[in-house]
Structure 1
Amino acid sequence: MLISPSPFSLCCALLLCLPLALVFTSTSTPPTTVTSGTKKNLVPPPPPPIIIPTDDESLFKLASRVNSKPFPSSPSSSSPRKIAFMFLTTTPLPFSPLWELFFNQTEEIHQNHNNLYNIYIHADPNQTYDSPFTGVFNNRVIPSSKPTKRFTPSLISAARRLLAHALIHDSSNSMFALISSTCIPLHSFNFTYNTLIRSKKSFIEILPNEPGAYDRWVARGIDIMLPEIPFDKFRIGSQFFVLTRKHARLVVRDRRLWSKFKLPCLQWDVCYPEEHYFPTLLNMLDPQGCVPATLTHVDWHGRSDGHPRTYEASEVRPELIIKLRGDKLRYGGTEDDDEKKINGSDSSKMLYQKHHDDRFLFARKFSPDSLQPLMDIAEDIIFKDFLFL
């Protein structure tokens, strides 16, 4: 004879079973997993995307916090150290087809050829770009690009923005090369990459006691640069450099010297801030960490208008490329580098004899119509590394 359960007894039975139900419910729902054979691993949540600021103050503050040493973007990554190629331009890149050939060579020397370099472009948003950036240059313009103007500190700001983006974007970026839109490579990618990645020093021209240096120092007014930058610490050098990651971070962290160099010039005809700020800063902070020479060949002979020689299409021949490769780098130094002074002279034009085997990797300026002659000799001359003087 079955006895019907009372409502009270049913409630008691349900209350007794509730803990067991909770246990089974909690153990029957597995965590998110991925299956690899018979082994299951937890899937970590994806890292939040990095939002790169477009205002300079926030951008430089974020970039100044990155690691000063290059390292893979994730612990499991086998990514090698990379070169950041930073193009500073106010025009379409006239030699993009040549650079495209240059970068595409990486497929021959590395299975994951994208892991050897990054490209960043600072393009003046006020200019018209009839030909959009395509190929390897597609989507490479940094969003914080701002107008630039000659004889102003805006060119310094543009280079600092490029450095900041490259620092933040990829922790594997090891060397940072500033490139002009009128610049071409003089060697294969393989030669260029190996030369730069082996170096533990920056390549930046640092010239003391150049003619006209005092006029450049007082271009903003008498004693305006003091006390941060006394005249004996003021240096001149090429706008185009290759910096280590350590030095790139030093540049974006700087506030002290920038507070002076960002001031407008009163004498515009001697105002070239981009040729003064970077060599002065690195000479003051870490001269021993620099090779005081630029790797970008330029011909200033006979020029007095502030523009270097421009090579025309009719001049582009194999002999020109071989000559540019074979020219010797001009090394700067410091005034107290007595051992390197020529004949022990105290001449105002201080040159130093240094015995290095460094070679020019890039050259400027080339006219846009010289593209086709350059393309004609690219494979057989420019990208053949055995052709040296």
Structure 2
Amino acid sequence: MFLTTTSHPLAPIWELFFNQTSQHKSLYNVYVHVDPTLKHEPSFFGTFHNRIIPSSKPAYRHTPTLISAARRLLSHSLLDDPSNYMFILLSPSCIPFHSFNFTYKTLVSSTKSFIEILKNEPGWYDRWAARGSSAMLPDVPPGEFRMGSQFWTLTRAHARMVVSDVDIWAKFNKPCVRKDICYLEEYYFPTLLHMRDPQGCVSATLTHVDWSIIEHGHPRTYKPSEIGDELIQQLRSARFRYRNGGLKRNDTFLFARKFSPAGISPLMNIARNVIFNDSGFM
């Protein structure tokens, strides 16, 4: 499930990922959420053609609309295909980190969701109170508030849990008093899963991101000149920040961000021989 606005500049590498062999076509579905009020660039071709969900609506940072967009993606994909088993939220700046075969087998071997559920992170109380000092009470007391990555992988049971949630969503579906700490999409999903089924989750995101460099509230974006074999191997050597059991086949991220649109050429140059080469992981 891709959450974007008007385009998908890294679509070519995903096209390679999904079409490494014709046998893969029955093993996945693609869903795209875009802003219907904006003109879409011609990047939704091939696998992405006609995959924009009809319920797409504008989504803005610092508002609950990003949560709504993810919930719409889940709702649509749950109804679209009863065989959908794992639901992966990705951004247009994400790339796959392994071959389709490796990624698929890793995910279907798990019975748990992968979502960061972090407790007592710096500034957590201010974020809990960002909608007002009592806005989250009584359904989400301070001790139950959690934070984590916006990008997660949910089982079908947890996807259904999200779209059927009313009480917790009502607390997060409120405007923030403080916009500077209002990243609701990073709080709602971890809090909900923590409160409803923490044992069914691995407290880790499968999408690698580098927060050592922050620009305007965004993590590091890899420039075209940085993209190569060395970067891929470096990122693959990273390990989850927190774990509580989960994958048995490996302990590696399956996706990575953020990559700039200008990086598509060097990414395509190393896609087959480096990014989709799973030597040492199988």
TM-score range, shorter chain: over 0.9
Structure 1 residue 103 corresponds to structure 2 residue 14: no
Q: 1:259 maps to which residue?
A: 170
How far residue 103 of structure 1 moved from its aligned partner, in angstroms, is: 0.3
Task: Give the one of 209, 225, 229 matched to 1:298.
Answer: 209
Tell me the residue number matched to 1:286: 197
Q: 1:321 to 1:387 in 2, by over 3 A?
A: farther
- Corresponding residue to 2:143 among 232, 238, 261: 232
Residue of structure 2 equivalent to 1:372: 265
Secondary structure of the corresponding residue to residue 118 of structure 1: coil
1:141 to 52, 68, 72: 52
Structure 2 vs 1, CA of residues 189 and 293 (structure 1 numbering), >3 Å: closer, same or farther? same
* Matching of residue 359 in structure 1 with residue 252 in structure 2: yes
Bigger fraction of residues in strand = 1
Deviation at 1:130, TM superposition (A): 2.5
- Bigger mean CA deviation after superposition, 168-177 or 89-98: 89-98
Checking the alignment, whether the CA contact within 8 Å between 1:205 and 1:332 is kept in structure 2 is no
Highest relative contact order (Cα 8 Å, sep 6+), 1 or 2? 2
Residue 216 of structure 1 corresponds to 127
Partner amino acid, structure 1, of 2:72: R
The structure-2 alpha-carbon separation of the partners of 1:354 and 1:192, relative to structure 1 and needing over 3 Å to count, comes to closer
Runs of 4+ displaced beyond 2 Å:
302-305, 353-358
How many residue pairs get aligned? The number is 280
- Kindly tell me: are residues 372 and 236 of structure 1, through their superposed partners in 2, closer, same or farther at Cα, counting changes over 3 Å? same
1:88 is aligned to 2:88: no
**Distance of aligned partners of 1:332 and 1:220 in 2 relative to their CA distance in 1, 3 Å threshold:** farther
Determine the C-alpha separation between the residues in 2 that align with 1:89 and 1:206: 24
Computed over aligned residues only, the root mean square deviation of the Cα atoms, in angstroms, reads 1.6
From 97, 100, 103, give the equivalent of 1:192: 103
Cα gap change, 1:226/1:332 in structure 2, threshold over 3 Å: closer, same or farther? farther
1:58-137 matches, within 5 Å, as 86-107=1-22, 110=23, 113-137=24-48
How far did residue 127 of structure 1 move?
2.3
Q: Deviations over 1:344-380 (max 9, x none)?
A: xxxxxxxxx9997421000000011110000000010
Percent of matched pairs sharing the same residue? 61
Higher radius of gyration, 1 or 2: 1
Structure-2 change in CA distance of 1:188 and 1:202 (3 Å):
same
Matched ranges for 1:336-351 at <5 A: none
Matched, 1:247 2:158: yes
Work out the CA distance in 2 between the residues paired with 1:354 and 1:194. 14
Partner secondary structure for residue 282 of structure 1: helix
Task: Provide Cα deviations, 1:66-125, integer angstroms capped at 9, x if missing partner.
Answer: xxxxxxxxxxxxxxxxxxxx0000131011110000000142xx3xx3210000000111
1:270 aligns with 2:163: no
Q: TM-score, normalised by structure 1?
A: 0.70
TM-score for both structures, normalised by structure 2:
0.96
Q: Does 1:308 align with 2:258?
A: no
Classify 1:143/1:245 alpha carbon distance in 2 versus 1 (closer, same or farther; 3 Å): same
Task: Name structure 2 gaps, 5 residues minimum.
Answer: none
Q: Tell me: CA distance 1:387–1:354, structure 2 relative to 1, closer, same or farther (3 Å).
A: closer
Task: Go from structure 1 to structure 2 and tell me whether the alpha carbon gap of 1:132 and 1:105 turns closer, same or farther (over 3 Å shift).
Answer: closer
Does the 8 Å CA contact 2:8/2:43 hold for their aligned counterparts?
Answer: no
Contact 2:106 2:247 in 1 (8 A): no
Q: 2: CA distance between counterparts of 1:241 and 1:133? A: 23
CA shift for structure 1 position 269: 0.3
Partner AA of 2:38 in structure 1: Q
Three-state SS of the structure 1 residue aligned to 2:106 is: helix
Q: Is the aligned partner of 1:330 residue 2:230? A: no
What is the aligned partner in structure 1 of residue 278 from structure 2?
A: 385
